[in-house]
Amino acid sequence: MNNTSPLHPASDTPQPAPAKGPSRRVTDAPTRMFHWLFALCFVGAYATSDGEHWRLLHVTLGYTMAGLLGFRVLYGIFGPRTSGLGLLWRKLAGAPAWLRAMPDATSLTQVNWRQGQNLLMAAAIVLLLVLVAPLTLSGYATYNDWGDVLGGDWMDEVHEFLGNALLFVVLSHVALIAGLSVLRRKNQALPMLTGRVEGKGPDLVPKNRTWLAALLLIAALAFGAWQWQQSPSGWIGSGTSTEGSRHHDDD
């Protein structure tokens, strides 16, 4: 006898969830934490770059970016090989050979597009890291009115130019990720969230180092809290620096 009834169709039987395919770790937690903290700090700093209303928050985010850059450099030197700065350099070093091979290709299918993708990705990351130092230094100089020594607002213009240059690199990086995701029909940003890619094989990064990522997050939040406590009015309306307002009070 068939026990299936309209009230209890056979399709209502719970089905086991499909088993996830094999995956391997390609990015550790500190690298991912740096990436997203850096991105959030830049977006926040760019959004608060105009006016005095949120200037202290803008400055704090800029200092945090500089601190994150210091961490990334140290981690690139003393961290695992997959996070080393030398890996980026080796990818960029292959650019001349890749460009020389382009004219010899008889068709587009013979071009090593994966190497070209790696070159563009490495170039974008290097530019992001390189621009942070002069951007934060010019921001510090602007905040303390160092440009007044030579007269004019030239330091403000330098800082604004570097900020726009970094924005261009960030947007190019995002566009490259989005384009590759469409072409390959796979989310290319997902490994920077999960740290893993689909496929069999050993983990390229044996240790995730979650504890170091947690310390990096705590340090960034602690610095922001300390900056907020140093200002009697909090983030809002506390943007005028002591050095920058001193000579105006003497007029």
1-21 residue pLDDT tens: 455 544 555 455 555 545 566
User: Could you tell me if residue 22 is inside a domain?
Assistant: no
Give the CATH number, domain containing residue 111: 1.20.950
**What is residue 32's predicted lDDT score, i.e. its pLDDT?**
93
Domain carrying residue 150: 31-194+224-232
**What is residue 142's predicted lDDT score, i.e. its pLDDT?**
83
User: Could you tell me if residue 127 is inside a domain?
Assistant: yes
71-82 residue pLDDT tens: 999 998 888 887
* Total structural domains within the chain: 1
Cβ partners under 8 Å of residue 139, min gap 6:
59, 62, 159
- Could you tell me the pTM of the whole model? 0.75
**What is residue 113's predicted lDDT score, i.e. its pLDDT?**
61
User: Could you tell me if residue 239 is inside a domain?
Assistant: no
Q: How far is CA 122 from the centre of its chain?
A: 13
> pLDDT above 70 covers what percent of the chain?
73
User: Could you tell me if residue 171 is inside a domain?
Assistant: yes
Mean pLDDT of the region 145-171? 81
User: Do residues 46 and 230 make contact, with C-beta atoms less than 8 angstroms apart?
Assistant: no
User: Could you tell me if residue 5 is inside a domain?
Assistant: no
**What is residue 93's predicted lDDT score, i.e. its pLDDT?**
73
Per-residue HEC secondary structure of 93-151 comes to HCHHHHHHHCCCCCCHHHCCHHHHHHHHHHHHHHHHHHHHHHHHHHHHHHHCCHHHHCC
User: Could you tell me if residue 176 is inside a domain?
Assistant: yes
105-124 residue pLDDT tens: 665 565 566 666 677 778 88
User: Do residues 139 and 155 make contact, with C-beta atoms less than 8 angstroms apart?
Assistant: no
Q: Confidence band (pLDDT; 50, 70, 90) for 85?
A: confident
User: Could you tell me if residue 219 is inside a domain?
Assistant: no
Q: What is the DSSP letter of 12?
A: G
User: Do residues 71 and 31 make contact, with C-beta atoms less than 8 angstroms apart?
Assistant: no
> pLDDT above 90 covers what percent of the chain?
25
User: Could you tell me if residue 42 is inside a domain?
Assistant: yes
